[in-house]
């Protein structure tokens, strides 16, 4: 059974400086990685823009050749320093998908 994991990363505290080779994020934004595990394969996409979260979810599902209806196992992994808004948005999406 396919599994969807939302991994909420810690909020950036450097205010525009690149962090470990990644693009610079605005201060306080949490990156969100979406991981789809289907059989023995893993597919992943990351975004730090919550406005593009559903678009990114669509991309990762397309790369795994799945429809959202096929995903029943949804998990959220949140870093203790993750942004509160990012956590709430991801929880709302999970609730909508579980419905």
Q: How confident is the model at residue 16 (pLDDT cuts 50, 70, 90)?
A: very low
Which of the 8 DSSP states describes residue 22?
S
Q: Over range 61-82, report the average pLDDT.
A: 93
Q: Considering the domain boundaries, does residue 18 fall inside one?
A: no
Which tens digits make up the pLDDT trace of 23-40? 554 556 789 999 999 989
What is the residue range of 76's domain? Answer: 3-12+25-98
Tokens of 11: 């909020």
Q: Identify the CATH number of the domain in which residue 78 sits.
A: 3.30.420.40
Which of the 8 DSSP states describes residue 52?
G
- Given a cut of 50, whether residue 72 has pLDDT beyond it is yes
Q: Over range 62-70, report the average pLDDT.
A: 94
The model's pTM: 0.80
As a whole number of angstroms, the distance between CA 59 and CA 8 comes to 18
Kindly give, in sequence order, each residue whose CB lies less than 8 Å from that of residue 92, ignoring residues fewer than 6 positions away.
none
Q: Find the helix or strand (DSSP H, E) in which 31 lies.
A: strand 30-38
What's the structural domain count of the chain?
1
Query: What are the φ and ψ backbone dihedral angles of 89, each rounded to 5 degrees?
Result: -65, -45
């Amino acid at each position: 059974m396919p599994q969807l994991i939302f991994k909420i990363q810690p909020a950036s505290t450097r205010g525009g400086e690149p962090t470990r080779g990644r693009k610079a994020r605005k201060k306080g934004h949490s990156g969100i990685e979406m991981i789809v595990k289907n059989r023995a394969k893993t597919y992943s996409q990351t975004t730090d823009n919550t406005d593009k979260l559903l678009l990114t979810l669509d991309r990762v599902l397309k790369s795994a050749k799945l429809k959202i209806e096929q995903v029943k196992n949804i998990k959220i992994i949140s870093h203790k320093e993750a942004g509160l808004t990012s956590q709430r948005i991801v929880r709302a999406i999970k609730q909508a998908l579980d419905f």
